[in-house]
Amino acid sequence: MSSKDKNLSDVSTDGISEKKLRKYRIALIKSNWNDDITGALERGCRDYLTQYGANEKQIKSFHVPGSFELVYAAAHLLEEKSFDAIICIGCIIKGDTPHFDYISQAVSIGLAQLNAKGQTPIIFGILTTDDKQQALDRAGGKYGNKGVEAAATALQMIQFAHNS
């Protein structure tokens, strides 16, 4: 379902225990590229996590230059084995060259490969849009906030990992 048919902030937290959530550690890696957008995504993510009981001290933020670097940062944090979920926040906006395609594909494949290891949930909170307005619409605009969706996904995956 496309985000134009669904509000990204309209997510379910059924079955998530706030009491248990306080003990879980969450890494939040944000790309600095398109900072006005990724900053809004990060705020939406952090606000949602704390709203549902995550301890602010258990959420550790990391910043990287661009979306491509999210893969390295996630791999590095995965090796530490210190987090119950790793949320990657980024924004890749299509331009006039194929750069968008290369970066989007590399980030998607890289994070999917890390996620497939099954050690710690890696959450894909990355916008890939045709233009800046589409990104703004999905970073707290008319289609909600992808950061909220990423946070809810992290909580659900933490719950899955600890109950399976």
Q: Can you name the residues that pair with 29 across neighbouring β-strands? A: 62, 88
Among all chains, which residue has been given the structure tokens 């398109």? Answer: 34
Amino acid at the residue 87: I
Exposed / middle / buried, residue 97 (Cβ in 10 Å: 0-12, 13-18, 19+): exposed
Cα dist from 143 to 12, 70, 122, 129, whole Å: 16, 24, 23, 13
- Is 99 a known active-site residue? yes
- 107/128 Cα distance (integer angstroms): 11
Residues with catalytic annotation?
Answer: 99
